[in-house]
């Protein structure tokens, strides 16, 4: 039976390439193209897809805020795996066009941040037209709606376009992290090189964020990322999206999250899953924690 995975389409996006990287985990995969990360996660929430493949972070432009916001738009969902993909672009036009013919240019806004330098050098006066995806930009070129697009090389093949320049990236070695999101369930098994993600809100009181972060510091749990996003309930009210080094099965992580739950107005568990890259130090020595538990047990029993 096929596993249905929603992704940012059409075919030819980096998200589709990430989906193919996840595909060997399943016996068969049925891709379903949608027009946004929100639509991909909505397909999971409504049972029209088993998983959603979405971009969550880019090494140049940072967080993919559309994905962050989509994670809290409805019923709980959970991240199970991740993959990091190198990202560079091809500049493509309809057959026969030259660079001097290009007056309008399209790509996804995240991609635009990664090719701005190239555009400034080669097409400084070009009109930028945002697209829902890089492949959608290539499709717009094929339809004659814009003159050129920045997209994965495969998009030129799919839409019959010419490539004017390849391997375009203002920052060489740029990568994008993609995650596979499904309905909330049991986390992926602990590997010892894991990432845990939570989203929380705090009372609007002096020191509330410092106090929350100290719960991790006191237990030797390292935060690899923290971002704030508006709740859309009013100015100055934010959710904090946080990645931790470690798995919820690691006692220090579990204890820190328990303490955070007591402080938070809302705490959403987004998942624990194997990291695609080497992380920093894991939580402090678990043997020391076991010894501390034994000491507490001894004191409670009067031994």
- With vertex at residue 187, the alpha carbon angle to CA 183 and CA 191, rounded to the nearest 5 degrees, is 145
Q: Is 191 a catalytic residue?
A: no
Task: Output the six-digit token pair for 57.
Answer: 């972070």
Give the strand order in the sheet containing 266-274.
223-230, 238-245, 194-201, 266-274
CA 262 – CA 212 distance, rounded (Å):
10
Q: Comparing C-alpha atoms, which of 54, 53, 49, 52 is closest to residue 4?
A: 49
Tell me 147's DSSP state.
S
Alpha carbons within 13 angstroms on the beta-carbon side of residue 272 total 19
Q: Is 216 a catalytic residue?
A: no
DSSP 51-109: EEEEEEEETTTEE-HHHHHHTTSSS-EEEEEEEEEE--EEEEESTT--GGG--EEEE-H
CA 157 – CA 141 distance, rounded (Å):
13
Q: What are phi and psi of 35, to 5 degrees?
A: -105, 5
Q: Which of 176, 188, 196, 242 is catalytic?
A: 176
User: Do the Cβ atoms of 37 and 72 come closer than 8 Å?
Assistant: no
Q: Which of 22, 105, 159, 178 is catalytic?
A: 178
CB < 8 Å & 24+ apart, contacts of 97-101 = 97/147, 97/148, 97/162, 97/164, 98/164, 99/123, 99/164, 101/147
Catalytic residue positions, numbered:
176, 178
């Amino acid at each position: 039976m096929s596993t249905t995975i929603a992704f940012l389409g059409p075919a030819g996006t980096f998200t589709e390439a990430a989906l193919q990287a996840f595909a060997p985990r399943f016996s068969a995969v049925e891709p379903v193209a949608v027009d946004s990360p929100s639509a991909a996660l909505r397909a999971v929430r409504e049972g029209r897809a088993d998983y959603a493949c979405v971009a969550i972070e880019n090494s140049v432009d940072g967080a993919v805020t559309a994905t962050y916001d989509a994670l809290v738009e409805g019923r709980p969902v959970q991240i199970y795996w991740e993959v990091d993909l190198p990202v560079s672009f091809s500049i493509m036009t309809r057959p026969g066009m030259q660079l001097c013919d290009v007056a309008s240019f399209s790509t996804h806004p995240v991609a635009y941040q990664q090719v701005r330098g190239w555009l400034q050098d080669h097409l400084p006066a070009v009109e930028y037209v945002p697209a829902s995806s890089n492949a959608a930009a290539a499709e717009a070129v094929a339809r004659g709606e814009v003159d050129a697009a920045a997209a994965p090389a495969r998009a030129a093949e799919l839409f019959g376009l010419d490539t004017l320049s390849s391997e375009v990236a203002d920052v060489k070695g740029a990568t994008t992290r993609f995650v596979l999101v499904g309905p909330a369930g049991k986390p992926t098994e602990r590997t010892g090189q894991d990432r845990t993600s939570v989203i929380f809100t705090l009372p609007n009181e002096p020191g509330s964020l410092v106090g929350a972060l100290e719960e991790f510091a006191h237990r030797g749990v390292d935060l690899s990322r923290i971002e704030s996003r508006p709740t859309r309930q009013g100015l100055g009210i934010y959710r904090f999206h946080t990645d931790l080094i470690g798995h919820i099965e690691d006692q220090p992580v579990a204890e820190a999250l328990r303490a955070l739950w007591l402080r938070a107005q809302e705490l959403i568990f987004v998942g624990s899953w194997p990291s695609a890259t080497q992380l920093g130090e894991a939580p402090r020595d678990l043997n020391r924690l076991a010894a501390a538990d034994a000491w507490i047990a001894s004191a409670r029993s009067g031994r």
